[in-house]
């Protein structure tokens, strides 16, 4: 009867001898055959990939160092009134000099992957033409440091920092010359890094640098061009993606994997009834017609083209084929929901506006609905038969403070993470092909127009001293990774 008094698996192991223990009982990091971690909480699949994400302009700093020239974000941030507090990425997290320390932070979280972005104007200061060897050398060092720490680099080639020279010369993405230059740059980086980097994302989030960069003008380069020109600019960005996929395949060592890091509207059915779910599927296709749907289907939807009318983009079948170049996986950046209900009129669906009382995080736009982490992979699998899905960003801003004891108790981020991961876990449990999760972000950083005022990190950064302080959420995430289960 003495075994009844034993409380922990470790005691149990001692009693019966370790040889008899199931492999998962010892550490808790491995999944049990039944998909249940040592704690009894359902675990993620055995090879589920845990990672963190960042982007060059948001963390690197060293804006004028070693031959880097300005990007459109350097210019935009310098324009009075554009970025909160007049903040710029000049110094940011000084990651260019502190990358070893930052890789150590990743290592201490236990993650196996890190999504970083390469700064185009660091590698090609003029956007094209002569390469800047010192810029390339930084990504060599960073990549080597990651690999030495057992962390796989997943590399984004464009996270919004377009070389200013290309904006000046061609009006940036308004010209397909920029798309061609991008494919050349992508090929160059893939050739240089693909002996060590096996995963590439050509472009991060189209809407944020096209619709917001050239439509509303709330992000760099801050232009407002007419509807027809905007649709053509969107099309140019799609071409840049497609041509880059082709160029990377041609230039890289065999076997590299190429995917998206896109933030579509994530359509969540208001209630999970068959009618609302069907409406959400239709909405997912139509509301994302300009980018995600175009890439995954190789065509613009009829509704998109007819709504655009005489402002519709001009394109050829060959271009649409390039845009739909086969991908190895699809990554989605998952933040805020679009709630959808069935609707008998017209499209068959309607967007349900958020009530003014709807909960949100510190960023104005970041409304809370963990269901996005479930519906993103499910929609990709159901609508487009995607076989490998990653959440390439998920996270939240919160009003982080250092408490009297020196700790940062970001209980709202802990809640955000736990609920979103539980929702992601529901997706894997039901068999939807979600293969990994990258947290946005490793550490607080330059949050675009919000400057340093909105913090998304697992690590708090004191931007005066560059000290990194683990938040409570870092502890949670480390525990999640260790258990491979929601903690
Ligand atoms: C992403 N929205 O941007 C970017 O990839 C990151 O660089 C950024 O720091 C992070 O999310 C947090 O903002 C987004 O309005 C910006 O839904 C806006 C939205 C989504 C993502």
Residue nearest ligand 1's atom 14 by CA: 208
The 10s digit of each residue's pLDDT in 437-476 is 999 999 999 999 999 999 999 999 999 999 999 999 999 9
Percent of the chain exceeding pLDDT 90 equals 91
The pLDDT value recorded for residue 13 is 32
Residue nearest ligand 1's atom 17 by CA: 336
Does a structural domain hold residue 307? yes
The pLDDT value recorded for residue 486 is 96
The pLDDT value recorded for residue 34 is 47
The pLDDT value recorded for residue 41 is 78
Provide the CATH number for the domain around residue 111: 3.20.20.80
Contacts for 485 with CB less than 8 Å, ≥ 6 apart: 31, 37, 39, 41, 42, 43, 44, 425
Does a structural domain hold residue 18? no
393 part of the active site = yes
Query: Which atom from ligand 1 is nearest to the alpha carbon of 448?
Result: 9
Q: Which of 78, 105, 104 is nearest to 89 (CA)?
A: 78
Query: Which atom from ligand 1 is nearest to the alpha carbon of 363?
Result: 13
The pLDDT value recorded for residue 26 is 34
Pairing of strands 459-462, 467-470: antiparallel
Query: Is the pLDDT reported for residue 152 higher than 80?
Result: yes
Does a structural domain hold residue 3? no
The pLDDT value recorded for residue 234 is 98
Mean of the per-residue pLDDT values for the chain? 93
> What is the Å distance from ligand 1's center to 136 Cα?
26
> What is the Å distance from ligand 1's center to 197 Cα?
24
Using pLDDT thresholds of 50, 70 and 90, give the confidence band for residue 33.
Answer: very low
Does a structural domain hold residue 297? yes
Least confident window among 38-52, 162-176, 425-439, 467-481 = 38-52
- Mean pLDDT throughout 330-357? 97
Using pLDDT thresholds of 50, 70 and 90, give the confidence band for residue 286.
Answer: very high
Residue nearest ligand 1's atom 7 by CA: 55
The 10s digit of each residue's pLDDT in 383-423 is 999 999 999 999 999 999 999 999 999 999 999 999 999 99
Token pair of 230 as six digits: 């905007």
Query: Is the pLDDT reported for residue 138 higher than 60?
Result: yes
Please tell me which residue in 60, 205, 262, 447 is annotated as part of the active site.
Answer: 205
Q: To test ligand 1's pocket by mutation, which of 89, 216, 365, 394 has the most ligand atoms within 8 angstroms of CB? A: 365
Does a structural domain hold residue 400? yes
Top pLDDT among 351 and 34 is at 351
> What is the Å distance from ligand 1's center to 33 Cα?
37
Q: Which of 121, 140, 141, 143 is nearest to 132 (CA)?
A: 121
Query: Is the pLDDT reported for residue 6 higher than 50?
Result: no
The 10s digit of each residue's pLDDT in 43-90 is 999 999 999 999 999 999 999 999 999 999 999 999 999 999 999 999
Q: Which of 204, 238, 111 is nearest to 392 (CA)?
A: 204
Calpha distance 209→216 (Å, rounded):
10
Query: Which atom from ligand 1 is nearest to the alpha carbon of 456?
Result: 12
Question: Please, are residues 443 and 93 in contact by the beta-carbon 8 Å criterion?
Answer: yes
Domain that holds residue 339: 23-483
Give the total number of structural domains in the chain.
1
Calpha distance 213→220 (Å, rounded):
5
Residue nearest ligand 1's atom 9 by CA: 447
The pLDDT value recorded for residue 39 is 63
Does a structural domain hold residue 4? no
The pLDDT value recorded for residue 35 is 63
Using pLDDT thresholds of 50, 70 and 90, give the confidence band for residue 4.
Answer: very low
Please tell me which residue in 145, 262, 393, 447 is annotated as part of the active site.
Answer: 393
Q: To test ligand 1's pocket by mutation, which of 52, 263, 396, 398 has the most ligand atoms within 8 angstroms of CB? A: 263
Q: Which of 235, 487, 218, 244 is nearest to 364 (CA)?
A: 218
The pLDDT value recorded for residue 37 is 59
> What is the Å distance from ligand 1's center to 372 Cα?
15
- Mean pLDDT throughout 276-290? 98
Query: Is the pLDDT reported for residue 17 higher than 70?
Result: no
Q: What is the DSSP string of 322-371?
A: HHT---SEEEEE---EEEEEE-SSTTSEEEPPPPTT--B-SSTT-B--TT
Q: To test ligand 1's pocket by mutation, which of 57, 209, 335 has the most ligand atoms within 8 angstroms of CB? A: 335
Calpha distance 404→356 (Å, rounded):
34
Question: Please, are residues 46 and 29 in contact by the beta-carbon 8 Å criterion?
Answer: no
Q: Which of 111, 104, 97, 99 is nearest to 154 (CA)?
A: 111
Using pLDDT thresholds of 50, 70 and 90, give the confidence band for residue 15.
Answer: very low
> What is the Å distance from ligand 1's center to 397 Cα?
10
Residues with CB under 6 A from ligand 1: 55, 58, 204-205, 208, 263, 333, 335-336, 365, 393, 440, 447, 456
Calpha distance 153→360 (Å, rounded):
32
Top pLDDT among 472 and 39 is at 472
The 10s digit of each residue's pLDDT in 19-32 is 333 332 333 344 44
What is the maximum span of the chain, computed from C-alpha positions, in angstroms?
A: 82
Q: Which of 439, 436, 428 is nearest to 477 (CA)?
A: 439
Question: Please, are residues 349 and 283 in contact by the beta-carbon 8 Å criterion?
Answer: yes
> What is the Å distance from ligand 1's center to 14 Cα?
49
Query: Which atom from ligand 1 is nearest to the alpha carbon of 336?
Result: 17
> What is the Å distance from ligand 1's center to 254 Cα?
32
The number of C-alpha atoms within 13 Å of 281 and in the hemisphere containing its C-beta is 15
Does a structural domain hold residue 5? no
Residue nearest ligand 1's atom 15 by CA: 365
Token pair of 425 as six digits: 């876990």
479 part of the active site = no
Does a structural domain hold residue 195? yes
Query: Is the pLDDT reported for residue 269 higher than 80?
Result: yes
> What length does the chain have?
487
């Amino acid at each position: 009867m003495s075994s009844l008094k034993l409380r922990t698996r470790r005691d149990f192991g001692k009693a019966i001898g370790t040889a008899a223990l199931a492999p998962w009982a010892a550490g808790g990091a491995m999944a049990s055959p039944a998909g249940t971690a040592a704690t009894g909480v359902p675990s993620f699949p055995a090879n589920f990939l845990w990672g963190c994400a960042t982007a060059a302009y948001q963390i690197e700093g060293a804006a004028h160092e070693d031959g880097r020239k300005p990007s459109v974000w350097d210019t935009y941030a310098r324009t009075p009134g554009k970025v909160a507090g007049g903040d710029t990425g000049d110094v940011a997290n000084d990651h260019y000099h502190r990358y070893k320390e930052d890789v150590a932070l990743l290592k201490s979280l236990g993650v196996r992957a890190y999504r970083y972005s390469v700064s185009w104007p660091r590698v090609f200061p003029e956007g094209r033409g002569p390469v800047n060897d010192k810029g390339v050398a930084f990504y060599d060092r960073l990549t080597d440091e990651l690999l030495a720490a057992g962390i796989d680099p997943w590399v984004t080639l464009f996270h919004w920092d377009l070389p200013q020279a290309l904006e000046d010369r061609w009006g940036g993405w308004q010209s397909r010359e920029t798309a061609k230059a991008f494919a050349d740059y992508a090929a160059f980086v893939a050739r240089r890094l693909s002996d060590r980097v096996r995963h590439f994302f050509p472009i991060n989030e189209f809407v944020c640098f096209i619709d917001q960069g050239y439509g509303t003008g709330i992000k760099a380069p801050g232009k407002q061009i007419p509807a027809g020109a905007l649709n053509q600019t969107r099309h140019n960005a799609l071409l840049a993606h497609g041509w880059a996929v082709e160029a990377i395949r041609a230039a890289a060592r065999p076997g590299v994997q190429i995917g998206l890091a896109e933030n579509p509207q994530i359509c969540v059915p208001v209630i999970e009834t068959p009618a609302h779910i069907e409406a959400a599927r239709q909405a997912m296709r139509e509301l994302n017609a300009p980018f995600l749907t175009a890439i995954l289907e190789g065509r613009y939807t009829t509704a998109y083209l007819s709504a655009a009318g005489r402002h519709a983009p001009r394109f050829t079948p060959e271009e649409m084929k390039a845009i739909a170049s086969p991908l190895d996986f699809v990554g989605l950046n998952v933040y805020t929901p679009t709630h959808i209900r069935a609707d008998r009129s017209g499209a068959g669906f309607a967007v349900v506006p958020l009530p003014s009382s709807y909960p949100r995080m510190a960023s104005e736009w970041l409304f809370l609905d963990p269901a996005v982490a479930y519906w993103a992979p499910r929609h990709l699998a159901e609508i487009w038969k995607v076989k490998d899905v990653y959440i390439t960003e998920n996270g939240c801003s919160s009003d982080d403070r250092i408490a009297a004891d020196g700790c940062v108790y970001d209980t709202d981020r802990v809640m955000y993470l736990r609920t979103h991961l539980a929702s992601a876990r529901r997706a894997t449990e039901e068999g939807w092909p979600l293969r990994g999760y990258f947290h946005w972000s490793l550490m607080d950083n330059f949050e675009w127009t919000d400057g340093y005022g909105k913090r998304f990190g697992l690590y708090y950064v004191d931007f005066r001293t560059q000290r990194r302080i683990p938040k409570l959420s870092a502890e949670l995430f480390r525990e999640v990774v260790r258990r491979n289960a929601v903690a």
